[in-house]
Chain A
Amino acid sequence: MITLAHFQIVSAALFAVGLYGVLARRSAVLILMSIELMLNAVNLNLIAVSSYVESSVFSGLIIAIFVITVAAAEVGLALAIVLRLFRNRASVNVDEIDLMKW
């Protein structure tokens, strides 16, 4: 029997993996992918809660669709930034990009 807790454990694990990726990876592209992972963990959580707690109401599903849409737009924007970054610096390593420091 798969309960809500199982979904939440998977979701939390996915989120933790994404978090690790954001904090630990160097490549901006991989960081973006990790962010997507975190967003999907959230989506999974939303959908699970929506169907288990009150299945006649679709608000959780609708929010999840919104998240997917926004995530797609965000990736488009972020990849454009990464491309400009590569053009200018021939690198997408975030630890080399510290222009905003003191």
Chain B
Amino acid sequence: MLSMEWAWLIPAISFVAFPVIVALRRAAPIVSALVAIMAILGGFVVFWLVTVDRIDHGATGIDFFSYRWFDVGAVQLTWGIIVDPLTIVMLGLVTFVSLMVQVYSLGYMKGDPRFGWYFALHSLFAASMLTVVLADNFLLLYIAWELVGLCSYLLIGFWYELRSATEAAKKAFITTRIADVALLTGILLLFKEVGTFSMQETFHQAELLMLGEPSALSSTTATASALLLFVGAMGKSAQFPFHVWLPDAMEGPTPVSALIHAATMVVAGVFLVARTFTLFEAVPNVLVIVAIVGLATTLIAATMALVVTDLKRILAYSTISHLGLMMLSLGAFGYTAAVFHLMAHGFSKALLFLGAGSVMHGANQTDIRKMGGLIKVMPFTAILFGIGALSLGGVPIFAGFWSKDEILISVLDHRHPIFTVLLLVAVFLSALYMARAYFITFLGDLKDENRTAHEASNTMLIPMILLGILALTFGFMALEWTNEYSGIGSFLYKHKPHGFEFNVALGIGSIAIAIGAFILAWLIYRAKVISIEGLKQRLNPLISVIEHKYYLDEIYQWTIDRVILVFSSFVAYFDRTAVNDIAVDGPADSIKRSAFNLRYHVTGLMQNYALGMIIGAIGVAVAWWAVAVYG
């Protein structure tokens, strides 16, 4: 058996696979795809071995393994991994969803001219994301963090012949990069006070700070760096106001949206906050901000998901909304609930995106207004999409219900009641937009243009079925199974293990809200009993604001055009005139001008030179004489 310090193998396999795939991509694209799948399958197997070893050595323990990398002065930099329950669940999510998505891509990307390159990027992404999850120091985490950003950029812009794809890729890269600057600043601030990038040492100092004992960390720095780390997390996890890149990122291939922009990379921000949660707990005021940002993101994204008509964009806004929920949960000390929801959402949303990909593949359409009755032509996709929708809608027994319930309990326990009320509104909206998307797309009458639509191939269906099983059953992880395992809280917790909790009033309320939303959506979009035309007309200004995405893109564009570009042109002008013309060319020009003026003494006439010589000689003689006489 493999001991858990071998967990570094999981990303390493995919890192090694990357150059192999790049080398093979033209000669044998299918082989290169199989190499990618084998690599991630190997990672998945190692993940299980590591999990078994973790359970053997105390399931809830935390182990650090670090190896010297190189020294800079007195600072020793290390490679290293953490193996704890958080790592384990994230490794499981990333390796499993990556595996499913790569198998699905075999069918989805068939015949693409850059088939091999696609799988190479998938391998690099999986390796980088797994490194983010495993990293035991901030430097390694930051490197991997940027690598996943790079993969995201390359995969969004995968079909770079489309202008919209390159634009979306740039937008994603630049938006997250702005947040990454904050992340790097936060890491360096921590390094300045703690003196090492090691998370173990940083968390130790944060704990001392929390207990009020002498600590290398001052509370000002801890607050500032926690805020900066959170800004970095906001960028990656598309929190308001950084969320603008995620809907546009849907320009990439749909499996990419499923893997990177729903299940794994975008949750890196949530993961970062969870990983550094000790630091956040030491400065609880920052957690209030985390909660507020999370709540605002949830509500704003949920309203946008309700009005857009592009199937993938509905899912994108839904992703943003659920990422907001996870942040809100972390902000309410709901560490377990947040990670649990991260998992449940990861499986469900990956399933939904793969379903949407299947719809696009079969019906060549992403606009839900042009679809309808697809259940008749693609029944498996319809059923699986339905499972995902119910799970995210928070309907009982599906995965999303359990995790959402845990979030509700945390928020109720630790935050002002207004948070709970608004969270229930978000739960309602979440169920409503999922139901809307489902009813319009899959139910009703089959439209003529969809008659040629067909069910997906087996390579695409099987990953969806496996994800569907998880979306259906993963929630049962919340329940007590054995004496050792009494709910997810007994395995993954921050301070003390806790079993399954259920607040009856809140639980029944949230069930009623979720089912109510589904019934309401049925009445509006399917049975058409309730007409919303009147409501739409009355709320027209509001809907128009939401349809314009709260004018955020316009505000950013205005800022870029009127502030950044104006400032940049001033800088460019200053550079051209003051720096280039005056400071750099100036001395050279003045020497050139004086040389042009002085050259006239070079007459070429021998006698002029002779005269100069004689005057010089007389001058020397006179000077010598003067010194001799008067000196």
A102 touches which one: B600, B607, B610, B614 (CB < 8 A)?
A: B600
Cross-chain contact B604 with A23 (CB below 8 angstroms): no
Contact with B along A72-102 (1 / 0, CB 8 A): 0000000000000000000000110111111
Q: B residues within 8 A CB of A95? A: 605, 607
Cross-chain contact A100 with B607 (CB below 8 angstroms): no
Majority SS at the chain A contact face: loop
Question: What is the CA–CA distance of A94 and B604 in the complex, to the nearest angstrom?
Answer: 10
Q: B residues within 8 A CB of A97? A: 604-606
State whether the Cβ of A22 lies closer than 8 Å to any Cβ in chain B.
yes
B601 nearest in chain A by CB position: A102
B603 touches which one: A19, A22, A23, A98 (CB < 8 A)?
A: A98
Cross-chain contact A99 with B605 (CB below 8 angstroms): no
Cross-chain contact B610 with A22 (CB below 8 angstroms): yes
Cross-chain contact B602 with A23 (CB below 8 angstroms): no
Q: A residues within 8 A CB of B562? A: none
Q: Work out how many contacts link A and B, with CB atoms closer than 8 A.
A: 29
Contact with A along B581-600 (1 / 0, CB 8 A): 00000000000000000011
Cross-chain contact A102 with B611 (CB below 8 angstroms): no
Interface residues of A in 22-46 (CB under 8 A from B): 22-23
Question: Given the known A-B contacts A99-B604, A101-B604, are A23 and B599 also in contact in the complex, defined by CB atoms under 8 Å?
Answer: no
Question: What is the CA–CA distance of A100 and B604 in the complex, to the nearest angstrom?
Answer: 5
Q: B residues within 8 A CB of A101? A: 602-605
A98 touches which one: B604, B610, B611, B614 (CB < 8 A)?
A: B604
Cross-chain contact B605 with A23 (CB below 8 angstroms): no
Q: Least Cβ distance of B312 to chain A in Å?
A: 74
Q: Least Cβ distance of A20 to chain B in Å?
A: 11
Q: B residues within 8 A CB of A100? A: 602, 604
Cross-chain contact B614 with A23 (CB below 8 angstroms): yes
B602 nearest in chain A by CB position: A102
Q: Least Cβ distance of B592 to chain A in Å?
A: 14
Majority SS at the chain B contact face: helix
Q: B residues within 8 A CB of A99? A: 604
Cross-chain contact B607 with A94 (CB below 8 angstroms): yes
Interface range for A: 10 to 19
Cross-chain contact A19 with B614 (CB below 8 angstroms): yes
Question: What is the CA–CA distance of A95 and B602 in the complex, to the nearest angstrom?
Answer: 14
A100 nearest in chain B by CB position: B604
Interface residues of B in 602-624 (CB under 8 A from A): 602-607, 610-611, 614
Most buried by A among B599, B603, B607: B607
Q: B residues within 8 A CB of A22? A: 607, 610
Question: Given the known A-B contacts A102-B599, A102-B600, are A23 and B606 also in contact in the complex, defined by CB atoms under 8 Å?
Answer: no
A99 nearest in chain B by CB position: B604
Cross-chain contact B600 with A23 (CB below 8 angstroms): no
Q: B residues within 8 A CB of A19? A: 614
A94 touches which one: B599, B602, B605, B614 (CB < 8 A)?
A: B605
Q: A residues within 8 A CB of B600? A: 102
Question: What is the CA–CA distance of A102 and B600 in the complex, to the nearest angstrom?
Answer: 7
Question: What is the CA–CA distance of A98 and B600 in the complex, to the nearest angstrom?
Answer: 13
Using a CB–CB distance below 8 Å, which chain B residues touch chain A? Answer: 599-600, 602-607, 610-611, 614
Q: List 22 A-B contacts (CB under 8 A).
A: A19-B614, A22-B610, A23-B610, A23-B611, A23-B614, A94-B605, A94-B606, A94-B607, A97-B604, A97-B605, A97-B606, A98-B604, A99-B604, A100-B602, A101-B602, A101-B603, A101-B604, A101-B605, A102-B599, A102-B600, A102-B602, A102-B604
The 3 closest A-B pairs by CB, nearest first: A101-B604, A98-B604, A102-B599
Extra contacts besides A94-B607, A98-B603, A99-B604 (19): CB < 8 Å? A19-B614, A22-B607, A22-B610, A23-B607, A23-B610, A23-B611, A94-B606, A95-B605, A95-B607, A97-B604, A97-B605, A98-B604, A98-B605, A100-B602, A100-B604, A101-B602, A101-B603, A101-B605, A102-B600
